[in-house]
Amino acid sequence: MNIMTKVIVAYESKFGNTKLVAETIVEGMREVEGIEADISELKEVDLDKVTDYDAILIGSPNHFGGPTKGVKKFIDKLGKLSLKVKMFAVFDTYLGKRSDYFFEKAVKKMEKRINETVPGLKRIAPGLSIKVQEMKGPLVEGELPKCKDFGRKIATKLKT
Ligand SMILES: Cc1cc2nc3c(=O)[nH]c(=O)nc-3n(C[C@H](O)[C@H](O)[C@H](O)COP(=O)(O)O)c2cc1C
């Protein structure tokens, strides 16, 4: 029997960096057999269709120390749906020019918010936090392979 596990990756991205992270995560996930991964900008996501998926991944750039307003609102809306979606994971991008102060800051806030507002959702794995060089990017060297690994890890966990 070959049952597909359906995943949706929803992201916000002002300058394209979080989008690249999302796309690379999807590449990694598609390497795992039995995974069907869709990707969408957050504002294009049809909430009624989210219920068709087994898992959701949410990505946000770090804006003012946490996820964007849009991402926060999206999580709150998820809490109001009766979801078939059972699993989640999150990822962020942050500016780490002088320090790693913002490493995982948005990720942790998203995880907390999901736990509080969508208690039925279970975390697949700890979130991924990816560093950019400047406000508009690009990603710091060595960060992109982490995205593919993350996708592969998430997909493998979903299949076992
Ligand atoms: C309005 C705004 C506020 C930001 N605040 C932070 C911040 O508090 N900490 C941080 O690490 N990066 C901050 N950044 C930098 C973003 O994290 C960076 O632009 C983002 O990771 C790039 O991803 P994107 O191309 O997907 O938008 C901010 C960027 C913008 C536009």
Per-residue pLDDT reduced to its tens digit, 7-53:
999 999 999 999 999 999 999 999 999 999 999 999 999 998 998 89
Q: How far is the CA of 3 from the centre of ligand 1 (A)?
A: 39
Each residue of 40-69: pLDDT tens digit?
A: 999 999 998 998 899 999 999 999 999 999
**Domain of residue 115, CATH code:** 3.40.50.360
Question: Which residues have any ligand 1 atom within 6 Å of their CB?
Answer: 13-19, 61-65, 93-95, 102, 132, 135, 137
pLDDT of residue 2: 62
Angle at 36 between CA 35 and CA 37, to 5 degrees: 110
Ligand 1 center from residue 55 Cα (angstroms): 26
| Whether the predicted pLDDT of 1 surpasses 70 | no
The closest-lying atom of ligand 1 relative to the alpha carbon of residue 132 is 21
Partnered with residue 10 across adjacent β-strands are 40, 58
Residues with Cβ within 8 Å of 28's Cβ and at least 6 positions away in sequence, in order, are: 147, 148, 149, 150, 151, 152, 153, 154, 155
Atom number in ligand 1 closest to CA 18: 26
CB 71 within 8 A of CB 57: no
pTM: 0.97
Residue 51: predicted pLDDT: 86
Q: Give the range of the structural domain holding residue 91, as residue numbers without chain letter.
A: 5-159
Look at the block and give the residue holding tokens 């962020």. Answer: 92
**Count: domains in the chain:** 1
Quick one: pLDDT at residue 60? 98
